[in-house]
Chain A
Amino acid sequence: MYWNERIERISREELTEIQNNRFSKMLRRIYHNVPFYRNKFQELDIYPEDIRGIEDISKLPFTTKQDLRDNYPYGLFATDLSQIVRLHASSGTTGKPIVVGYTREDLNNWAEVCARSIVAAGGSSNSVIQIAYGYGLFTGGLGLHYGAERLGASTIPISSGNTDRQIMLMKDFHTTFLACTPSYALFLADALKDQGISPEELDLKSGIFGAEPWSENMRKEIEKKLNISAHNIYGLSEICGPGVASECSCKNGMHIWEDHFYPEIVDPVSLEPLPYGSLGELVFTSITKEGIPLLRYRTRDLTALHNELCECGRTHVRMERVMGRSDDMIIIRGVNVFPSQIEDVLLQIGELEPHYQLVVTREGTLDCLEVQVEVTDNLFSDKIKNLESLANMIRQRLSSVLQISSKVTLVEPRSIPRSEGKAKRVIDKRNY
């Protein structure tokens, strides 16, 4: 089943023609409307007319998360704010979030790719779709919401959390399709079991899971415990949100909707483009975006692309599961966490040279973050209650910066291993 068969099964030649056409329009848009890009082009002595087609893209500069931060909040927007109908934001490293704006056409395209993704994962206009991704500034909830509505499915905007209610509605509303993070899917499965509800009593048939790394083993577990077909979905708010790529019934990688998002794989160090099949950093150019079109945006996600024709008949290339990050960002419960955010909090409480370590574990099915902080003479108090309120204060500040809860453990000075004078900041003990 397809949502937009003509585009999803388009010949590679026709797809390239569409990409060339959209790419050249995008180049003109960013050259004329975004001073950041115009300056970059002028520094390189490139004019949009010099670029013959998408195959010339490697001549053009990259865009990074830092560029988004430097141009906070609207500096990279290519349209007037009056044309922007939605703003989303994701967590940044230093309190200031990454802001993205959508024109009405951008939202239209986003709903289109999400509808394609849901159909590829087994959904249809007859589905009852429970969207248990967070609604709000995070793109997960609203992105899939409009995709599900576009499709004509019965959409339940329940958002994340409140497991008992999720289960009640899942039963009473006869939910057939679930959208949430894979760890929450497992959490729901365990909660169902605790309540003595077998998956056969439910109407669930399939689901779409993403926003955090997961594995084939987790897929098997979700499929077994919920008795559904589980599909991987990929996205990032800088490019669009969920629906940049999604799995079909072949479950052999996620089809990137290339008529909107042009993918490249580059060597994360040399930044040279790599051929299909090689592992490298995923880079996207959002060729149809009007609000904030990004040129060669470095996702920092490590993966490989495959262009062999998929059995499902879709011609769009597939990306493998994300295998890691080319920087030190970690994703915990779908939230991006940077060690520098923890450092900022410790600096705020008066530590000059904070020593800390993040230990990420998976307890049951949920990711847990433990932040170990070395107690220096400066932080140390003779009173337990002072130490406890110190740990509490750090925990509260972290939770307001990271938007996720953590356990703060005070440890002895110099107890965190240092390598070459620099502490190893992240210990990820999760097994996917």
Chain B
Amino acid sequence: MISQVSVFLENKPGRLEKVLEILNDNEISLRSISVAETSDYGIFRLILDRPKDAVEKLKEAGFAVKETDVLGLEIDDTKGSMLNAIKELASNQISIEYTYACLPINNDKVIIIVRVDNMEKAKEVLKDSKNCRLLDCDDICFIDK
């Protein structure tokens, strides 16, 4: 499993910028981002190379922050590969709460981030999957190294 940092942001100019500024000042790299929004606020979800440091720095700056476990699935960058990975979760009655993708790491692999209702079961189901490789924190930290 990999660690995702979630930040509560009000819908007003400059808030997302402030988060990115703090990460930049502390030389924390982004792997992937997603924003879930409502009319008044949003949740900024980030996959970072140093999540623990990010949580500390963002809390210092006064943000409401949470670290959440999510699945990082490395799949082939080919037609139908995401479908096959998701099928395995669905057929085991695992519900997806949200998902988003990382930029392609290289020419033939893609990482998708998935949060499900039953993380332990999902890990068990995907442990030996032929359709995807379950990543851990180290994989994320080493993506660009």
Contact = CB atoms under 8 A, between A and B. Distances in A.
Interface of A: 375-377, 379-384, 387-388, 409-415
20 contacts: A375-B41, A377-B66, A379-B64, A380-B8, A382-B6, A382-B43, A382-B45, A382-B68, A382-B115, A384-B38, A384-B43, A387-B8, A388-B38, A410-B8, A410-B41, A412-B9, A412-B15, A412-B41, A412-B63, A414-B62
Chain B interface size, as a band, is 20 to 34
Contacts of B64: 375-377, 379-380, 412-413
Contact of A412 (B10, B59, B68): B10
Contact of B66 (A380, A410, A413): A380
Interface string B42-76: 01010000000000000100111110100000000
B17 interface: no
Contact of B10 (A376, A383, A387, A415): A415
Contacts of B143: none
Interface of B: 4, 6, 8-10, 15, 36, 38, 40-41, 43, 45, 59, 62-66, 68, 97, 115
- Interface of A (DSSP majority class): loop
A411 B63 CA distance: 11
B10 A411 contact: yes
Nearest to B68: A382
Given A383-B97, A411-B10, 10 more contacts: A382-B43, A382-B66, A382-B115, A384-B38, A410-B8, A412-B8, A412-B62, A413-B8, A413-B62, A413-B64
Contacts of A415: 10
Contact of B63 (A382, A384, A387, A413): A413
Contacts of B36: 384
Contact of B8 (A375, A388, A409): A375
A414 B62 CA distance: 7
A67 B106 CA distance: 74
A166 B65 CA distance: 50
A387 B6 contact: no
Nearest to A408: B40
Nearest to A407: B40
A413 B36 CA distance: 19
B63 to A, nearest CB: 7
Contacts of B41: 375, 387, 410-412
B105 to A, nearest CB: 24
Contacts of B63: 412-413
Contacts of B15: 412
A381 B10 CA distance: 14
A104 to B, nearest CB: 53
A409 B41 CA distance: 9
Nearest to B59: A377
A409 B40 contact: yes
Given A388-B38, A410-B41, A380 B10 contact: no
A272 B137 CA distance: 71
A176 to B, nearest CB: 45
B89 to A, nearest CB: 18
Contacts of A382: 4, 6, 43, 45, 66, 68, 115
A387 B41 CA distance: 10
Contacts of A377: 59, 64-66
B40 A410 contact: yes
Nearest to B6: A382
B145 to A, nearest CB: 28
Contacts of A383: 43, 97
A413 B65 CA distance: 10
Contacts of A414: 62
Contacts of B97: 383
